[in-house]
Structure 1
């Protein structure tokens, strides 16, 4: 008969639900939490719950924000004539690290993947098209990853945008095929941004 502590097993199970966390790492994290004093453990738990309750989607670009409009959309110094379209908020953080892009963003919330049941209606494509109706936007940069899903998404959206008379470009391939923006270094991202091509 193996030795079990129900509360510990449940804590390990919760950590195992996180992406990239296997059983041994989950166990290590659970023991780390048990080693914290109660005040720190409570602060850790409260911070997670507070983040979940207060962080929402920006009404303009769908980025994560603690207010209705994110800091990037609210910044009057940003170039509103260019929108960089990305898969998720992590990609915005990657671009912002380059300190070379001063336009705005639009987060799709995923990529087209019929095999996984993700069609256009599951993504924030309608919201992107609504932003283009003002006539202020001159260029949309498709910065989806160079994967099958990323390419399909970029092509689908570019076909919707082109009739509106807005220039659509694609990131140049400084980013390896199959790679994700989140793990690309600043120089690679900057070169990809600089060498973007029209679709």
Structure 2
């Protein structure tokens, strides 16, 4: 049995979303087909508005619809500590923990030579000018192989800049993505972070 071309096109586009395979895309396509037209139009409108209005913060690269994100615009945040995370979803996860009041820097990925993702593909270079002597940088990448490799790479870059570098660790399962950790686990991981280097004395 052949599917109509319009249905095949919808399945193909849905399967391009992360974590959505062909079977999941097909289920979603049939689900969408069964929804009222106004619901589909509302979904399409929300997608178009998000694409039009959202952009990355020029400072931390989190997603925002303003000139700067809420965190970078908040003078009450601790300016002497930066948590480096993989994705914008990780910022949301950490904020839910209620244990962190510092700043963020979003890499938008991890180092993955197998997938052709090197340092130039991530927002690493803009991080370095933000680091001042005496600051603390929390490497809050996931505990996957790629997350650990990214953390180690950043540690070596940051050590000469005079910052204390710590690594989020306690409570996170090995191979786990930060975004899917619950609030309690993530809060403990932040409070139990491990220092991985001391600032290099400035000459």
Do both proteins adopt the same fold according to a TM-score greater than 0.5, normalized to the shorter chain?
yes
Asked if 1:194 is matched to 2:191, the reply is: yes
* Residues 91 and 182, structure 1, Cα contact 8 Å, conserved in 2: yes
Task: Tell me the matched-pair count.
Answer: 196
Q: Deviations over 1:94-113 (max 9, x none)?
A: 10111111111000111112
Report matched runs for 1:1-199 at 5 Å.
2-133=1-132, 138-199=135-196
SS of the residue corresponding to residue 79 of structure 1 reads: coil
Q: Which moved more, 1:85-94 or 1:44-53?
A: 44-53
- 1:115-147 residue CA offsets vs partner (Å, 9 max, x unmatched): 2211111111111101115x5x61000011112
Whole-Å Cα distance in 2 between the matches of residues 13 and 35 of structure 1?
A: 18
Unpaired segments of 5 or more residues in structure 1?
none
Aligned partner of residue 168 in structure 1, secondary structure: strand
Cα-to-partner distance string for 1:83-103 (whole Å, 9 max, x where unaligned): 000011111111011111111
In the alignment, the residues of structure 2 paired with residue 3 and residue 118 of structure 1 have an alpha-carbon distance, to the nearest angstrom, of 38
The CA RMSD over aligned residues, in Å, is 1.6
- Structure-1-length-normalised TM-score: 0.91
In 2, Cα distance between equivalents of 1:110 and 1:3: 38
SS in 2 for 1:84: strand
Q: Secondary structure at the match of 1:97?
A: helix
Give the 3 Å change call, closer, same or farther, for CA 118–22 of structure 1 in structure 2.
Answer: closer
The structural deviation recorded for 1:40 is 2.4
Unaligned runs of 5+ in 2: 197-203
Tell whether the 8 Å contact from 1:57 to 1:68 is kept in structure 2 after alignment: no
- TM-score (structure 2 length as normaliser): 0.90
Closer, same or farther in 2 for the Cα pair 1:8/1:121, shift >3 Å? same
Asked if the contact 2:99–2:191 (Cα under 8 Å) also holds between the matched residues in 1, the reply is no
Q: Counterpart of 2:200?
A: none
Q: Which whole-Å deviations, capped at 9, do the CAs of 1:19-78 have from their partners, x for residues lacking one?
A: 233334323322332233333222211111111122111011000111221011111111
- How far apart are the structure 1 equivalents of 2:112 and 2:11? 31
Q: Secondary structure at the match of 1:118?
A: coil
